Every structure is written in structure tokens, then in C-alpha cells.
Chain A
Amino acid sequence: MAEALFINGCGISTALGQGVEQNLLNLPQASKFLTSLDVGLSDDTLRVPYYMVAEPGRDAGPDRLRTIIDSVVSDAISEAGLSSEQVVRLGVFVGSTSFDVFGSEEFIRCADKITDDVISSSLTTFGCLASYIKQSLGIKGPEYTFNTACTASANALMYAVDMLRAGEIEHALVVGLEFSNDVTTLGFHALELISQHGMRPFDSHRDGLYLGEGCGAIVISRHKTAENQFSFVSGANIGDTYSITSTEPEGATIAEVIDLAVKQAGINPSDIQAVKAHGTASLSNDEAESAGLRRYFGSAIPPVQVYKPMIGHTLGACGINELILFCHSIERGISAPYCEASQFESDLGIQLLTDLSGRQQGYYLLNYFGFGGNNTALVIANTL
């Protein structure tokens, strides 16, 4: 069995609020926090539904991202109880798809005239936010920034664990971050992936997703430094080349990546208590994910939890954001199906998780899939 690593501290900021408590409190009434983002086009203004971090809002300027990151990272480190010497030696692992594109767009919007020079000058490096985190906290440890679409922060976590197990670092700070920007908004609009009628993963009436902003951070270590009861057990990744925008539809790759993660954990499929599904509510990806779950679990698919209807699809950040919400929901026994069981009609053989009581101890599977054919599965354990 793989050596378990301890999730000692968490911080999160989503549309539901700042901190784990606010997020859990607002999960059942998440739809109240859905707003929209307006993007000007030549012939119209496009209004796109969006779960956005409220404070600081988009009008706070280019420092907004750093303000949000600071508070989330501070929460995670504080909860983990790390000393200042331990903070200096942290390894930093960041996952995102858009990094500081928000800042680039602010730079362009503020220009007197938008020229090719202005646009080109606006571009920043992928590593700029990891560098910022290290500089602001005086961290001297290694940094890794992952850009593998919607699996980015899940992959960041997986390799952070490898570095911990290899003894190269003592503690890792893993950060997922995704902030609203016109490129992502218009890109998903152009791909016709934005829902018009409400986000309903695995439901027969699903028609796409809502985008979401979010930043999540965890401190993970080889030793328990805080009272959190969750540990990371194993993870696996497979790239498939079926399509650059969707996962192989028969579910073979998804079943394979789940199988790898579960085998590495040294457990059996029947040990999985529940699944945190990727659940984008797009026609093809929900089909592929449910096909993968059926292939792997047969007729005994564990109940499925999804978080994207409540916080939006936070893309590269969803690896950490959804892990934090899942762990704390299990710990508190908070079931948060996005709709009543009577309103859920699935043609995909999926059963939503509606009752967490009695399920707390054991193993849980988390799925993440992204553009570029990137597929990641993680196994975590609740040791009580």
C-alpha cells in the first residue's frame, strides 16, 4: 500500500465565500451566488453566467489575484501550523490554465490605444504566480507550475506527493488558481460549452457548464501537523489522443486511470465509498466519464458527488478546490447534491450522493479530465 500523506491545512476562496466554513455553509444555497460576466464584442455584449469571487471583485484591478492568493495561502499555512523555518523550505506546486491572463487583459484594457506592441507586452510567464508566492513568503524550496488544463492542480498535487515521498521536501504547498478572463469566457462560448439552462451533470437534460473563479491551497506533509483527518493515498495520470477537447468516449482511458490509482492505493474497487466526479455536464464528457465508471465498477458504481454546479468549473483549480470541498463535506457529513433526487433523471447509470452519514471512514476517488486528453484520478482516505 502506498504511503499516505497528510493534508494538514486548507484555504479556499470561491464564489461561495472565503474560507472552508463559508464555502460549506453556502453549498446548499449556491445558486444564489451565480452572477454573470459581460464581454464586449463588435456587434453585441455577451453575458455569460459565472460563479465569481465577490471580494475583492473584478474592479479591484490587477492586484486582485494576488490579494486572493495571499489570503488562501495564508489560511492553509496557518491551519497546518508550520513554523517560519518550515515555510522557507516548502515546495510550491501550482496548477492553472489561465495564470495571470486577468492581469494581461487589465493591461490591455488600460492602454490608450490597443496595438500589437501593447498586446505582446501584456503577456506574462506561466510561472509568474508561483514566483510571486515564493517571493511573498520567502520560500526557498523548489517550485513547479502545471499547465495541463483542468487536471493542472490535481497533477500538481500528485507530483508534490512524489517529491515528499522521495524525501526531497518536508512539506508541500499545492495551489490551484483560476480567475475570470475574457479569453477563457469567449473560448468556452466559442466551443458552445456554456450552459443556457442550468448546470446538471449526468442528468438527461444537461447542456453544458458554468465557469467559476476559485483559488484553493493545501499544505500536505509526510507527518501530521494538524487535526485534519484526510490523507492522500495515490494518483495516476494518462494522456489519451482521441480528441484535444474531449476524453475517449467509450471510457476505456478513464477506467484505466482509475484502475491505476486504485491499484497503487493497494485497495479494491469495493473499498471506494464515493466518487467526486469531474462532471462538466457537457454531453460528451459526462458520457465518457459515466462509461469509464461503468467499465471499472460494473453495476456497483459508488454514489457520485459533483461540485461544479455549486462553484462553477474552476478549470485548472478544480483539482484542489473540489478536493477541499469533498474532504470537508465528508468530515462533516454534509451531502450537497445539486438537485433533489426526484429532479434528477440520468440516462447514464449515475446515482448522486445524497447521504454521507455512515460513509465517513474509508477511501474516496476523485476524477479530473482536461483538454489535451489529460486524465487524472486520485485516491484519498479518511482515517478519522
Chain B
Amino acid sequence: MNIYSSSTFYQPISDHLPDLKGDIKAQFGKNIRRIDRFIQLSMLGAGRCIGDIALPEKTGLYMTSVNGSLSNAFSVLREIYVDKQPPMPLSFVNTVSNAACFYVAKQFGIQANNMFVTRDHFGLESALKLGWLDLMNERVEMALVGAVAQCAEPLAVHRKRLKVANDADMGEGSHWYLMAKSLDGCDPVAILHGLNEYIALDDLVTKLPSNLDGIALGFGVPVEAEQLLSAKAMQVKRWHPELAYYEFTTGYAVTELLSQPQFKGKRWCHIDANPSGQYSVVDIERC
């Protein structure tokens, strides 16, 4: 499967959440009403990924997030339990996470399969897999895949949710990918050779391709596995361990592998692990 474009919209968060309306206006040339912070983060990343690419008529949309729109869920619960009022209708509708899919689809004229899928771990992989399946089954000609993570106030509680220190930096953003078997007039930036999920370490070691240039390790991979994997590639390195709090380090890493010049012509795998000791592999070769 080919990847034609990727993007990251990421911002570190320390003591407050910066307003995103200016970013939206700068990117889209207008204000977009009725969208919450989660949808803003989604659209900012998706817009960067699509850029000038003319999406085929049958483009599917596949989004993922661990928590969805935390700020909207918080404000709806506050209206109900503190203000003792029904939620505003639009706020209620936006509690359903495919509301973000609706706004992204509307902005970019997408009218095919439209999915919001999630997991506690390997979230990006779940969305990539659905896009992959629909492309293989020729339900869609192109798949727009996005992973979105949002910080929410109170930030002290958000730090507790992420299980990080009271003064730790945090981050929010979205990572996007355009995949297709082929696209007229466009050369791919990379080949997605495979997605392998929920595999045991022994299987992982035997199934990894022999010609890897590097392995990027997610923060879930334990030290003993790192030692085992070090024989499988020229380089094996932990990817941005300082982002250990961030839900989509996989998205961050994969986008860097797809965009930074030193990875051109190289084949890398991103590997992560869940708390049950199962592994996921995203196998990418830059063109």
C-alpha cells in the first residue's frame, strides 16, 4: 500500500490551552463555526496532510482517538450536574466522536466510508488497518487516516489521567496519512509494507523483515525486548522518549519517518507494546 502524504499538527502544553481559532482561520482562510477543540485539532492536521492533493471521489475517512473530545464531554457533564440544565443540542451531538469525522468530511468533500475507531493501545494502527482493508477490498480509492489527541482542563486532572508528574509537559495534536494503491499524477512518499498487531515478542522477532534499516521503538517496549530487537536492524532507537505522556507517539514517529530527509530510501519499522506484552509493527519504506 502506498502513502502519498502525511502531516503532524502538534503543540506542547504546559500551563494553559492556547486558542486554536487563529490557526483555523490562518489555515482555511475563514472561521469555522460550531467546532470544538477536538475537531479543530482534527481539521488542522487533516488540512496539512491533504494540501493540494485532489481527493478521489471514493475517499474513505478513518479517525481514531483514545478519549475523543474531552473538553466537550466535560462541558456537557458540567451543564447537567452543576448547572442542572440539559446540554446544548450541538454539544450533545459532538459527544459522539464521529461528529469530528462529519466536519472533516464536510470540509474536504469526503463522501465514502466514514469511521471512528478506537482502542486503549495501538489506536493509530486500528485506523490504518480499517483504511487498509477498505483499500484492499476496493471499497475506496483512497484512505485518509487520522489520530487525534486533545488536552483538557483542568490540566492537573489531565496529568493524572495520563499518569504523569504534576509539573510534566503535555502535548496535543493530530497525525494524518493519505493511503492508496495508486494515485494518478502523484508519486508516493512511502510504501506501507504491513501492519502487524497483537503479536508475541517471539513471533515479532521471527517475522521482522531481514532488510530493515532501522527500528523505532514506542515507549511501551520494555528494555529486554529492545535488546532482542537490536540484532534485527542497523539502528534501533527509542523514539522521542520525552513524549512518553503522549497518546500518539506512534503517529508522531511514523510522520517523522515519512517526512525527514535522512529516512529517504530507508525501510523502518515502528514497534510498540501494550501492557499485556503484545506488540504492533508498522512497516514503512520511504521512496
Contact = CB atoms under 8 A, between A and B. Distances in A.
Interface stretch (A22-30, A53-61, A137-145): A137-145
Contact of B86 (A120, A141, A189): A189
Nearest to A165: B137
A190 B89 contact: yes
B74 A120 contact: yes
Contacts of B161: 120-121, 123
A290 B146 CA distance: 34
B93 A239 contact: no
Contact of A244 (B78, B93, B111, B276): B93
A189 B89 CA distance: 9
B98 A147 contact: yes
Contact of A148 (B74, B87, B112, B116): B116
Contact of B101 (A120, A140, A182, A239): A239
Contacts of B134: 162
Interface string A182-219: 11001101110000000000000000000000000000
B202 interface: no
Contacts of B85: 41-42
A226 interface: no
Interface size class of A (residues with CB under 8 A): 35 or more
Interface string A240-267: 1100110000000000000000000000
A339 to B, nearest CB: 30
A110 to B, nearest CB: 12
Interface residues of B, number: 63
B206 to A, nearest CB: 18
A341 to B, nearest CB: 36
A155 B120 CA distance: 19
B160 interface: yes
Contacts of B156: 117
Nearest to B278: A140
B204 to A, nearest CB: 14
A120 B158 contact: yes
A371 interface: yes
Given A143-B119, A166-B136, A183-B76, A117 B157 contact: yes
Contacts of A371: 93, 96, 98-99, 102
Contact of B67 (A123, A240, A241): A123
Nearest to B73: A123
B84 A41 contact: yes
A97 B106 CA distance: 21
A183 B114 contact: no
Nearest to A111: B81
Interface in B203-230: none
Contacts of A186: 80, 86-87, 92
Contacts of A140: 198, 276, 278
B26 interface: no
A162 B97 CA distance: 23
B157 A244 contact: no
Nearest to B139: A236
B133 to A, nearest CB: 5
A122 interface: yes
A186 B76 CA distance: 10
A127 interface: yes
Most buried by A among B67, B82, B87, B92: B92
B233 interface: no
A183 B110 contact: no
A104 interface: yes
Interface string B65-80: 1111010011011101
Interface in A36-64: 39-42, 46
A155 B115 contact: yes
Contacts of A119: 74, 77-78, 81-82
B14 interface: no
Given A117-B154, A141-B198, A245-B93, A372 B102 contact: yes
Contact of A125 (B67, B106, B160): B67
Given A41-B84, A191-B89, A159 B99 contact: no
Given A42-B84, A371-B99, A241 B154 contact: no
Nearest to A119: B77
Interface in A345-371: 370-371
A244 B197 CA distance: 33
B88 interface: yes
A237 interface: yes
A239 B154 contact: no
A149 interface: yes
A190 B76 CA distance: 12
A6 interface: no
Nearest to A89: B198
B33 to A, nearest CB: 12
Contacts of B86: 41, 46, 186-187, 189-190
A126 interface: yes
Contact of A239 (B76, B92, B105): B105
B87 A238 contact: no
B95 interface: yes
Contacts of B73: 123
A148 B133 contact: no
Given A120-B152, A191-B92, A239-B61, 11 more contacts: A42-B83, A143-B119, A144-B126, A146-B116, A147-B68, A166-B136, A186-B80, A239-B101, A239-B105, A372-B93, A372-B114
Interface of B: 61, 65-68, 70, 73-74, 76-78, 80-90, 92-93, 95-99, 101-102, 105-106, 110-120, 126, 130, 133-134, 136-137, 139, 152-154, 156-158, 160-161, 197-198, 276, 278
Instruction: List the 3 shortest-distance A-B pairs measured between CB atoms, nearest first.
Output: A239-B114, A187-B92, A42-B84
22 contacts: A41-B84, A108-B81, A114-B82, A117-B156, A119-B77, A120-B157, A128-B120, A130-B119, A130-B120, A146-B116, A147-B68, A147-B98, A147-B117, A148-B96, A166-B136, A183-B87, A187-B86, A236-B139, A244-B90, A372-B102, A373-B102, A374-B114
